[in-house]
Amino acid sequence: MATNLLAAGFPLTVHNRTRKAEEPLAAAGAARACSPADAAATAEILCLCLTDGAAVEDVLFGPQGAAAALPAGGLVIDFSTIDPSQAQACHDRLRPLGLDLVDAPVTGGTEGAKAGTLSVLVGGAEASVHRAMPLLQTVGKTVTHFGPIGAGQQVKAVNQVLVAGSYAAVAEAMALGQRLGLPMEMVRQALCGGAAGSWALEHRAATMLRGDYPLGFKLSLHRKDLTIALAAARAVGLSLPLSERVSHLEEELIAAGHGDDDVSCLMRWFQA
C-alpha cells in the first residue's frame, strides 16, 4: 500500500515498528522516521495499518505517539481492522487535539494490496472522507463510504464472517472430494463456474489441494477479526453458529503452530 502511494507521487515518510521493513520504501524514495511522533510531526495526513486495536492505541497515544505530534487540522486514516467502538474512542480522543479520523479497513489480501485493487470500507465525516479520497483511491479499486466513524469497521466484520464461511466450506468440500477419490483439479474447475463458485474456490482451493498455503492473510489475524465480528453479533443479540465453529477450528490450528499461515490452512484441520 505504501509502495503504491509512493509510486503515485505522494510525498511519503514511513515508520514501522520493525525498522527493517522500512528499507525497501526508503530505497524507492520515502523518508524514514524514527518514531510515530517523528513521522507525524510534519504530516497533513497520517496513515496507519496495524495488527490490532492495542497497536493502534499505542502508535497514536503511547510514548512517542503520533497524536500529540500531528499538527492541528491533521487527518488520521486507519486502515487497520479494530473494534468499531475502539475506532470511535480513538476519534473522540483525537478531536480535542484538532484532529480527525477516518476508519478505512481493507479487504483483498496481500495480492490486492500489492496491485492496488483492495476494497476500502470507510467510516467517517463526509468532509474528511472527501479529503482522504485521493489516497484511498490509490490503494483501492473500490472505495465505499458507509457512514460515520466505525461504519467501515462494522462492514469489515461482516466481510470476515463471509471469509470464515467461504474458506471453511471450500476446505471441507475439497477434503470430501479427496476422500471420495475424485480428480479434484477437474472438480474445482467445473465448480468454479457454477452456483458454488467463490473467490476462495477460485484462488485458494488449488493450493489447498497441494497442501500449500501462500500467505494472503494470516490465520491469527483472521481469528482476531472474527472475534470482533462475534462480539458485534452478541451486542445485537444475534447468534453466528457457523462463525463460532470456524473460530474454534482456527483456535485449534493456531495452538498447533499455524497462526502465521494463510487462512486457507483451514484445510489442515481436515487432514489431521
Neighbours of 126 (CB within 10 A): 10
Distance CA(80)–CA(103), nearest Å, equals 8
Q: Which three cell numbers stand for residue 182?
A: 475424485
Segments of the chain assigned E as strands:
13-14, 31-32, 45-48, 75-78, 100-103, 106-107, 118-123, 140-147
Characterize the bridge pairing of strands 106-107 and 118-123.
Answer: antiparallel
141 belongs to the catalytic site:
no
Residue 113 near residue 83, CB atoms below 8 Å: no
Residue 216 near residue 110, CB atoms below 8 Å: yes
In 3D space, the residue among 33, 81, 75, 66 whose CA is nearest the CA of residue 217 turns out to be: 81
- Which CA distances in Å does 232 have to 50, 54, 154, 158? 20, 18, 8, 10
Neighbours of 107 (CB within 10 A): 20
Q: Catalytic one among 141, 156, 218, 224?
A: 156
Catalytic residue positions, numbered:
156
